[in-house]
Structure 1
C-alpha cells in the first residue's frame, strides 16, 4: 500500500501540485508526525521516488510546526536511501529551536523504520532584518520569454504532470568547456495554487520543481547519451524504454520543444529513427549511474513570488570528478526577482567498457 490512509478525492479547489503534496498529520500518535496522503511518483528507470517530492513534503511538514510569521530561508537535504513508491513515508519533525528571530527544524523521512531522506531547515521571522539593510541581487539574464499555450514533456514523458516547463537553448553550448555552459528553462505549477495554501504552498511547489533535471545538467553540458535501446535487466522499467519510444515517435520540430532533449540527443535520435545501431557506432560516453546525493535551497524572497506563474531557472556546473558532480541553480520570478539559489551534488558515473547497456 503506497499510503497509510486511503487517499481522499482530489480537491478541485487546489492545484495539481497541492493535491500531490498533501500531508496527513498523525496527531493521535504524535503532532510532529506526518505521512503522504497520495502515492508518490517513481520516475521510470530511477532508483526510487522523485527526490523533489521528499524535499517538498519535508518542507510542508516543517512549515506546519512554526508560527505564521516565520518563513523558511534555507534547507539542507541528504538523500540517504531510495524511496519506495509502494510504501508510505513517515515524516518526523524535530523542533530543534524556536527563537525570537530564527527557528530550526530537522525532518526525517522514514520507510520501514529506516531513514531515506533527512533535512535541516532554518526559518526567519518576517521583517526582522531592520529598516536599514545591506542589499544586492543577481539579475535575470536577457532571455526569450515563455510561450503561452506551448506545453512540454515532464514526469517521464507525460504532459500531465503537476508542473510544466519550457527549455531554452544552452548558453555557450559549442564551448569545449562544460563549466562555461548554462542550462536554462521556464517552469511553473499547473493550474492555480489556492489562496488557502498560502505562501507555504508556493514554497513547497518551488521545492518540488527545484529538483527537476538538476544533476542532469552535467549530462547535458557534457553531451552524454542518456537513452539506451537495450538493458541487461529486463525485469525493471527504464526511462530508456518508456521515454525513448515517445521521443522516436516525434518529428524534429516536436523534439526541439522537449526540455531534456539537446542537439546531441536530437542527432542520435535521428540516427536511431533511420535504423542505425547507435550503440555500435557511437563511441561517446554514456551515463551508467546518475543519482542525487544532497540538495540545498536558499530562499531569498520567499513571499514575493507565485509558483503557478512562470519562473526562470539557470543551472551551471563548476566541477565534476571522482564520480561526482556539483551543480548550481538560480531561480527568478518573471519580473526579475531572485527567488532562490540551489546547490546539488550527485553521483555521476559513466558506463565502463565491457558493461552491457542499461
Structure 2
C-alpha cells in the first residue's frame, strides 16, 4: 500500500482483494455510525470461519489497528453463541503485525457450550500464519440468585462537553509555528482521518501514572448489544499503552515505539458505545522496555462497565534517550554499565545517542529506520488516533534505566578455551564504536530487549545466553567487516535468522556479537527460472520464498516450522514433512557464499547442478550451525509444483500397527509426498483444539500424495490403501476436493500447539531422533512403553516416512521432579535410537542439547577429526562457540 494512501479504509470484495473504500474526510453522523459498524463486522465463509470486511490503516502506522482485530475476533465469537449469552471476558495476544492488504481469517474453536457459560478460542490468521489469538468467555446473566455487589466510584473529572475533541487539539497543534514540516504533515493526516470515534482527553498539568479520556461513536449505533460490546473493545485499545509514556511525560516526538503485546477485558455491565464512556487508565510500572496498563471504563451514570489490562513494548527515540541520560550524567553522551559475575562474565551496555529523532528538524527522510526482527513483530501499532502524549512535553527516567542497566546471564563454562578471552568493559566499548563506523548507528544495538530476544527462545528448554551486541548487516561486505572486528577483539560471533531453533543454536553462551540477518539480509538476489534455482540471503523465510516463486510453477520443498529462515535451515540441515519424497536441505543447496573466521569471502562452488571440482565444501558448511563461518548467500535448487495433489488419513488399533506400514510402503516404491504419524494422545489434543475435526482418537497416519496426473495419484492411493488394510487400518479417508484436503490435513498442521492443551502452561521438550525405517516399529513400541511409566503427557508425531519422529514431553520447568523426568525420557529415547543404528537428531541439529551424545553416535575418532577441522578453520574458536562439538 503506497504511503500516499494514508489514511485509508481497506475493504475486501468477493475475491478478497483489497480496495481503498474511503479516504477519510467530512461525513455526517449516519456515515460515521455505518463506518464504525463496518469496522468491526466479519463475514461468515464457512462453519466457524469468518473473514474481515474492512481493515483500518491508521495514519503513520505500520499495520492494522490492534483494537480492530480484537473487535472483529469478538464479533466472530459472538456469531457462534446463542443470543442470551453476553460477553464475560476476553484474553488476547498479538503475535505478528497485521498486513492491511490481506484479509484476516478468524477461526472460532468451540471449547465449551454449557448451560451458564460458553468458551471460545479464536485464531486470527493472514496467509496461513496466526497473527492474533484470543480466548472468550460468555455467560448468561444470573438473575435467579442473590449476589454480592460493590464497585469503585467513578473518578471526579471534568465532563466531556467541557473538553476539546482530539480534532480540536490536532488543529491547535497544526497552528503552531515551531513544528517541523514532517510533523505538520503527520498532523494533517491525523485530521483527515476523521475517526468515527470521538475521543476527549482530560489534560494533566504534570506527568501522572493515571490518565482519563472520554470516548463514544460520533453517530448512533442502534440497539444491538453485541455491536456495542465490539465497539467498546475496539476503542479500549486506542491510546491505552500510551499511558506508560504519559506517566513519564514523554513528548510525542520522544516515543520511538509503542506496540501492544496483549489485551484483556472483563465486561461487568452492558454499555452503549454511542454514549459518553469515561476511561480511567493507570500504569503501575514501565521498565525493561515494556509497560503495563490497567483500565476502568465507566458509563455516564457511574457504573463500572469494563475493566481492562494490557502490556506493550515501550521504547524512546535515540534523541529522547540522550536528553534523559544527560539529566543523569550532564556531561556524558555515552553511558556504559559493567556488571561482573563470579565467573568473570561481563555484560556491556552502551547507549549512543543520535542528534535527530523521528520528527526532528535534521531528520533525513531517506535514512532507513531501524527494523524489528519478526519475533518482535508480534504486536500491532497502537492507534495514534488520540495520543495524550501530544500534549505533554516532559521527561522519564525509567526507560533509561531499562536501556542502560546491565544484567546477569548464564555463567561461563569452566572448560572455556583460553583463546576465547573474557570480554571486558574496554574491549566491548572499542568494538561497539568500531562497529558503528561500519554500519549505521541504528544497525548496532545494545538495547536490553533486543539482546534478550536474540539470546533466548521460548522454543528451547536450554539456558539462554545473551550477546553483548546485536548488529544488522545489509550485505556480505558488511559481514566481512563485522567478522574482522570480532577477530580483532577476540569476541564470539553468533549468527541469527528466524529464531525458531530448538537446541539452543543461537544462545550466546560466552557473550559476543550476534549477527542478525532477518532485518536487512532477507532479499532474493537472483532468480534463474529456466535453471530452476534461486540465490537468496540468509534472512529469507521459506514460506515467503515459496510465495514468490509459486506463480512460476515452482516451489522449495523443505518445510520445517513456520518462520524458519534459509540461513538457519542451512545451519541445522533441516528437512520437514516432505523429506520422504524430497530429502533434506543437503540435497537442495547448490552453493554457499561464506565469510570465514578471518574475514575472507569464499564461494563453495559454481552454479551447475553437479560438479566434481575438489572437496565438497558446500556440505561441510550445511549442518555446521555457524561454527565454521558465516553463510551470507545461498543458491537453492527448486522443484516443479506437482500438477495433482491430495491427502489421506487412516487410524490403527495400535501405534506399532501404524509404524509397520512405513517399511512396506517404502519397499513398494510408492512416490508418496509425506507420511506423518500421530499417536492417540496427539489426536485427542487435536480434537480438544477443534472438536469439529472429529478425528478417531487412535494412532493415525497422514498421507500426502502428489504426482504428474490424477491417474497416477489414484494408482498410488490404491496401493497404499491395500498396504494399510493388511495392517489393521481403519477407514482410509482421502480428499476428493481442495476443501476436503485442507480439512483432512488440518490436524497435522495444528499438532504442536494443540498438544499444549494436554497440560496448560507447560514447557515442551521436543525430541528428535531418526532410525532406519526397518527399526521404526520397534523404536516406537519401546518408546511408548517408556512413556507409559511416566506421569507426563507425551504425545508423539513423526515424519515416519524417513524414520524420523518427535515426542513432545510436556513438563513444568520450575518443577525439579518433572524436569528430571523429562530428562530421563529424552535420554532413554536417544540411547535407544543410537543402539538401533540411528541418530540423535534427524532435523533439529546438535546445538547445545545433543552434543553430549555425539561421541557415542559417531565414535571418538570421528569427533577428533571434526575438532581438527574446527581448529584449522577457526583457530580462535570464535564462531558460535559451545555448539556441535562435545
Aligned with residue 198 of structure 2, among 143, 164, 171: 164
Query: What is residue 442 of structure 2 aligned with on the other side?
Result: none
Normalising to structure 1: TM-score of the pair? 0.74
Normalising to structure 2: TM-score of the pair? 0.31
Following superposition, the deviation at residue 110 of structure 1 comes to 0.5
Separation in 2 of the partners of 1:111 and 1:4? 16
Aligned with residue 216 of structure 2, among 166, 180, 188: 188
Separation in 2 of the partners of 1:115 and 1:311? 32
Separation in 2 of the partners of 1:13 and 1:287? 30
Distance 1:351 1:212, change over 3 A: same
Distance 1:323 1:12, change over 3 A: closer
What SS does structure 2 have at the residue aligned with 1:314?
strand
Query: What is residue 258 of structure 2 aligned with on the other side?
Result: 290
1:106-163: CA deviations, max 9, x gaps? 11111010011110010011226x4211111111111111118964339933462121
Is this contact kept in 2: 1:4–1:35, CA < 8 A? no
Aligned with residue 315 of structure 2, among 344, 349, 356: 349
Ranges in structure 2 where 5+ consecutive residues have no aligned partner: 1-9, 23-29, 171-188, 319-351, 359-886
Aligned with residue 38 of structure 2, among 15, 19, 28: 19
Following superposition, the deviation at residue 14 of structure 1 comes to 5.3
Query: What is residue 82 of structure 1 aligned with on the other side?
Result: 97
Query: What is residue 410 of structure 2 aligned with on the other side?
Result: none
Is this contact kept in 1: 2:33–2:217, CA < 8 A? no
| Count of residue correspondences | 285
Distance 1:147 1:55, change over 3 A: same
Distance 1:70 1:60, change over 3 A: same
Aligned with residue 50 of structure 1, among 65, 89, 110: 65
Distance 1:65 1:84, change over 3 A: same
Query: What is residue 5 of structure 1 aligned with on the other side?
Result: 14
Following superposition, the deviation at residue 31 of structure 1 comes to 1.6
Ranges in structure 1 where 5+ consecutive residues have no aligned partner: 228-285
Following superposition, the deviation at residue 2 of structure 1 comes to 5.3
Aligned with residue 53 of structure 2, among 14, 17, 37: 37
Separation in 1 of the partners of 2:149 and 2:305? 14
The structure that is strand-richer by fraction is: 1
Aligned with residue 111 of structure 1, among 106, 126, 131: 126
The reply on whether 1:64 has 2:73 as its aligned counterpart is no
Following superposition, the deviation at residue 103 of structure 1 comes to 0.6
Separation in 1 of the partners of 2:292 and 2:80? 32
Following superposition, the deviation at residue 226 of structure 1 comes to 2.2
What SS does structure 2 have at the residue aligned with 1:186?
strand
Is this contact kept in 2: 1:36–1:90, CA < 8 A? yes
Following superposition, the deviation at residue 190 of structure 1 comes to 1.6
1:49-84: CA deviations, max 9, x gaps? 111100000000000100111111100010100001
Separation in 1 of the partners of 2:245 and 2:95? 22
Query: What is residue 511 of structure 2 aligned with on the other side?
Result: none
Query: What is residue 174 of structure 1 aligned with on the other side?
Result: 206
Query: What is residue 138 of structure 1 aligned with on the other side?
Result: 152
Separation in 1 of the partners of 2:89 and 2:129? 25
1:266-308: CA deviations, max 9, x gaps? xxxxxxxxxxxxxxxxxxxx3222110000001111x2x2110
Separation in 2 of the partners of 1:288 and 1:14? 33
1:160-217: CA deviations, max 9, x gaps? 21210111123xx536xx5xx321111101201023xx10000001000001100011
Distance 1:12 1:152, change over 3 A: closer
Separation in 2 of the partners of 1:357 and 1:201? 40
Separation in 1 of the partners of 2:200 and 2:32? 26
Separation in 2 of the partners of 1:88 and 1:315? 31
The reply on whether 1:324 has 2:290 as its aligned counterpart is yes
Distance 1:290 1:13, change over 3 A: closer
What SS does structure 1 have at the residue aligned with 2:161?
coil
Following superposition, the deviation at residue 47 of structure 1 comes to 2.6
Runs of at least 4 residues off by over 6 Å: 9-13
Query: What is residue 309 of structure 1 aligned with on the other side?
Result: 275
What SS does structure 1 have at the residue aligned with 2:246?
helix
Separation in 1 of the partners of 2:155 and 2:239? 20
What SS does structure 2 have at the residue aligned with 1:81?
coil
The reply on whether 1:124 has 2:139 as its aligned counterpart is yes
Following superposition, the deviation at residue 220 of structure 1 comes to 1.4
What SS does structure 2 have at the residue aligned with 1:46?
coil
Is this contact kept in 2: 1:2–1:87, CA < 8 A? no
Separation in 1 of the partners of 2:291 and 2:163? 35
Higher relative contact order, chain-length normalized (CA < 8 Å, sep 6+): 1
Q: What root-mean-square deviation, in Å, do the aligned CA atoms of Structure 1 and Structure 2 show?
A: 2.5
What SS does structure 2 have at the residue aligned with 1:82?
coil
Is this contact kept in 2: 1:324–1:347, CA < 8 A? yes
Distance 1:351 1:152, change over 3 A: closer
Distance 1:80 1:4, change over 3 A: farther
Distance 1:115 1:2, change over 3 A: farther
Distance 1:132 1:152, change over 3 A: same
